[in-house]
Structure 1
Amino acid sequence: MNKLGVDSVLMFMNGNATKLAALDTETRDYFLKLPGYDTLRLVLSKRAILVEGPSDELIVQKAFHRRHGKLPIEAGVDVISVSSLAFKRFLEIADILKIKVDVVTDNDGDVKRLQKKYADYLKHEHIAIQYDTDENARTLEPQILKANGRGVLNDILGTTYATDEDLLKFMQNNKTEVALRLFETDTEWNVPEYISRAVA
């Protein structure tokens, strides 16, 4: 689909035909060069959650399972890991096709910049940008530490760090491993609020 051009796609949904011809040229060219099936996954999904990477994907999968008792894919929800720079490209497609999408993103220490970046999508009924406003917790790992505390995380991760700074350094240097342990554990831990909103 990418190679043929997403602007050539004709979708039939609920008795209506929709084309992606409204995509701007830059977005069309972006998808022409994109490998894999993420575009098709979005187009065919009833609902999608876009995340920034594998760590975020594991945490969202676990949060969804804890909320609904099943993995997202079992509920018809596709969790798609894309570069944060590409979120708006995918949102252009979601907007045209009216696909329900949540974006789970870091605030990177600058909430105003984030709000400006997604200003066109902040009031859409079917698109939600989920982030935390605490600029001291810029990314996923400090968000998880803030929500759970050092004791809980030391227990789950099998570590004995005496300071938050040392634990956070470990988490940031081992992002996917930490997320996998949180995904696999039976120990209760708190999901950051912005992720809870995305899996509701």
Structure 2
Amino acid sequence: MAGYDTLRLILCKKSILVEGDSDELVVQRAYMDTHEGRLPIQDGIDVMTVGGVTFKRYLEIAKILNKETAVVTDNDGNIKAITDKYKEYEGIPFIHICFDKVVDTGNLKLSDKNFNYNTLEPKILKENGREVLNNIFGTDYNTDDEMHKYMHAHKTDCAIAIFESATKIKYPEYIMRALKNE
């Protein structure tokens, strides 16, 4: 994979690979909250949005270079699929596959489909509660389902609000695990 992102992986001290822009903002803020306000890049750590299908391509480069790399990914309600997908990286001490090992469920439906409680936004709500997030987002939702709908429809706006907020939040354990493997 030629290109700037490949070069970023090669040049950084450590990489943290995430699925999307929202994940990138939240991981960067989690790092800042645990490293005296420093951005990861200030410490040679590059947080990169690579998308689900290209994780393994980056991991192959990391494996060849012995590059400290963490993958931060949703479990999407299927732990076995995640463990099977990354099985070949088990036991490699510098590659860390970080996902929530708990599958959450609920009754919410969006457009007649079951809501996925196993992505970043529902995990943040689970960690922090509605009151904290209402405060950060400037909303006034009375139920978790209302907050889930809002966060699902406004992923990037929510991530930006978290990133820019004066309020520190609690981060899901799998994100904190990715930061600890430095």
Query: Could you tell me how far apart the structure 2 residues matched to 1:189 and 1:96 are?
Result: 36
Partner of 2:86: 118
Amino acid at match of 2:31: F
Does 1:183 find its partner at 2:163?
yes
1:188 Cα offset (Å): 2.5
Partner of 1:53: 20
Secondary structure of 2:142's partner?
coil
Larger relative contact order (Cα-Cα within 8 Å, sequence gap ≥ 6): 2
Does 1:135 find its partner at 2:128?
no
Q: Write out aligned runs for 1:83-162 (5 A).
A: 83-136=51-104, 137-162=117-142
Partner of 1:44: 11
Structure 1, unmatched stretches of 5+, are 1-30
Partner of 2:32: 65
Larger radius of gyration: 1
1:60-110 deviations in whole A, cap 9, x for unaligned? Answer: 000001111210000010011011111001000000000000000000110
Secondary structure of 2:61's partner?
helix
1:197 Cα offset (Å): 1.0
Partner of 2:108: none
TM-score w.r.t. length of structure 1: 0.81
The size of the alignment, in residue pairs, is 167
Query: Could you tell me how far apart the structure 2 residues matched to 1:151 and 1:191 are?
Result: 16
Runs of 4+ in 1 over 2 A off after TM superposition: none
TM-score w.r.t. length of structure 2: 0.89
**Residues 33 and 168 in structure 2, CA contact (< 8 A), matched pair in contact too:** no
* CA-atom RMSD in angstroms: 0.9
Same amino acid, percent of matched pairs: 51
Query: Could you tell me how far apart the structure 1 residues matched to 2:67 and 2:4 are?
Result: 17
Structure 2, unmatched stretches of 5+, are 105-116
